[in-house]
Structure 1
Amino acid sequence: MIDMALDHGSLEHILPVSWKSQITAWLAEDTPSFDVGGFVVGDAPRTATLWGKSQGILAGVPFFDETHGGKKALATVSGPARGLLEGERVALNILARCSGVATQSRHLLVNLRSAGYKGIVAGTRKTTPGFRLVEKYGMLVGGADTHRMDLSTMTMLKDNHVWSRGSITEAVKAAKAAGGFSLKIEVEVQSEEEADEAIAAGADIIMLDNFTGEGVKVAARSLKERWAGKKQFLLEVSGGLTADNAESYICHDIDILSTSSIHQGVPHVDFSLKINVDKGSGPEVSS
């Protein structure tokens, strides 16, 4: 059963102005030369039905609409036969991938909420090159946070940044000087000591990376108590979180749980597009 309730129409308005040009590029990639199959079916007006073949959340409707450029009513599209088939595979691939991300995001979110977690569940930037927009959109439809969209959205200082600059303090100082007041700074840490240095330096978000579930709970409680009333910051836990172990990291002191498991290697939702055949009419040939 396909759940379409979460693919709110209003989410289409969050997409950047460039998203339609990406669809054009994907269509061009799939038809670099002659389309003999398009010649076979011609431009006779047809209507096709989109069928959901496996359970999941439907996500990516705006991409499907733009790919076909026809009129859609729930799960039908209409237009020239050639156009329907020309965009079929691109559209179904986008829907399958985007819906898979939405379904996995929703699954993890529901499980964590049922276990009592009230904080943010987020994806990561470990997305497919060229397909980030669709995967991030799927996270949103599934109810997850997109985290940072790109290198310009938020400054994340990881071990390589710190080593290159010399210390967490110096790295945060440099990031603040270049990014100004409007850009948040997140620092990846491996210990409470590193977290303390990042908080003291003025980091907005502290990522406890690759901690154990029990280690997260101890460190998070200690940090929140030690810095209460002195500094404001968010605590994030990341690194190795999956649907199987995420519940073991739940505690009220953690503000964000981030994981790539909601978008990397997730099962696709299966769809098919079938042209509705009028049994009373014979085949049409275009010349």
Structure 2
Amino acid sequence: MASSHGHLAHLLPLNYKRFIADWLEEDCPSFDYGGFVVGESEGEANLLGKSKGVVAGVPFFNEVFSQLGCTVQWHVHEGQPIEPITKCATVRGPIRKILLGERVSLNILARCSGIATKTNALVQALRTHGWNGTLAGTRKTTPGFRIVEKYGILVGGADPHRHDLSSMTMLKDNHVWACANNKAAGNNNSPDSIAAAIPLAVHAAKAAGGFSTKVEVEVRSIDEANAAIGAGADVIMLDNFSAEEVGVAAKKLKTEWAAKGKPSGSFLIEVSGGLTEHNAPAHVCEDVDILSTSSIHQGTPIVDFSLKVSLR
């Protein structure tokens, strides 16, 4: 999928090639008995899209077969929607090597495309409701497979959110509660104590991360949000607020802080907690900048693909 700045594949770190090598080794750690039967004859196989969806994961698919000495010719573009049955690509090389990469490549493509499909559907639903903010994923990803899942979110048209603990500082409830449980904050988890602890946590995060690292704070009330904004937090996450509470809280925060000299844009409001394609549209309003949800990448259906060797 291309953007005005280039192809999304250009974002990928070099270590993704190492992941591919590891996944190939995982699938064939010893003898390839089936490949022995096939031998070294040259041939080709067609990649068929067998269910409706958005194609995503092209660079990973290509790298699987590149490492096996095969070539891939694509007949569709990444990010393109397909209907069954679509001939998406042709893989050429030794049949043994094509079959060696078959399952690994299909697993990656099916999962990545499923995430892009689910993501794109929610993006379109939110746009239909007139909201032009940012839909984002979360860090609830599969260990060892994060790069593919985050890439699928990008192809689907959403923001991947932070990639790891080093990407932005997010102060969640446990971070703040830990700060509240020291002498400076009152040694308890009462609402007043939590609100008092938020500036301590934000200031510590700012000092550690420096000017280039944004700080986000998860809050449960307007008082906690005000404490975070006052301390200089860049993003305020309204966590598990109802749709009605979101509209009231977001407007109140943006309006009151604008009157104090913090105009819209000096901090962002993110809404998270249990959002799905069914309830996310109800949580959007002009004062909400970001919706984040793991529903676009966790437990999503796959897009079905198969690789069929051409008979001659």
Q: 2:138 aligned to 108, 119, 124, which one? A: 124
Count of aligned pairs between the two proteins: 273
Cα distance between partner residues in 1 of 2:170 and 2:284: 23
What does 1:3-22 align with in structure 2 at a 5 Å threshold? Answer: 6=1, 10-22=7-19
Shift of 1:230: 2.4
Q: 2:244 aligned to 207, 211, 214, which one? A: 214
Shift of 1:11: 1.0
C-alpha contact 1:189 1:208 (8 A) present in aligned 2: yes
Shift of 1:165: 1.6
Match of 2:226 in 1: 196
Match of 1:61 in 2: 58
What does 1:1-287 align with in structure 2 at a 5 Å threshold? Answer: 6=1, 10-69=7-66, 70-74=70-74, 75-166=89-180, 167-228=197-258, 230-231=261-262, 232-278=266-312
C-alpha contact 1:7 1:58 (8 A) present in aligned 2: no
Cα distance between partner residues in 2 of 1:169 and 1:7: 41
Shift of 1:7: 6.6
Q: Which amino acid aligns with 2:307?
A: L
Cα distance between partner residues in 2 of 1:7 and 1:66: 18
Match of 1:283 in 2: none
String of CA shifts for 1:230-259, please: whole Å, max 9, x gaps: 231000000010000111101000000110
Task: Please give the root-mean-square deviation of Cα atoms over the aligned residues, in Å.
Answer: 1.0
C-alpha contact 1:172 1:185 (8 A) present in aligned 2: yes
Larger mean Cα displacement after TM superposition, 164-173 or 266-275? 164-173
Cα distance between partner residues in 2 of 1:79 and 1:165: 59
Q: Secondary structure of 2:295's partner?
A: coil
Q: Which amino acid aligns with 2:116?
A: A
Cα distance between partner residues in 2 of 1:162 and 1:11: 36
TM-score of the pair, normalised by structure 2: 0.86
- Structure with greater contact order relative to length (CA < 8 Å, sep ≥ 6): 1
String of CA shifts for 1:76-104, please: whole Å, max 9, x gaps: 01011111000100000000000000000
C-alpha contact 2:49 2:305 (8 A) present in aligned 1: yes
Identity %: 63
Q: Which amino acid aligns with 2:96?
A: R
TM-score of the pair, normalised by structure 1: 0.93
Shift of 1:186: 0.2
Cα distance between partner residues in 1 of 2:228 and 2:124: 32
C-alpha contact 2:162 2:168 (8 A) present in aligned 1: yes
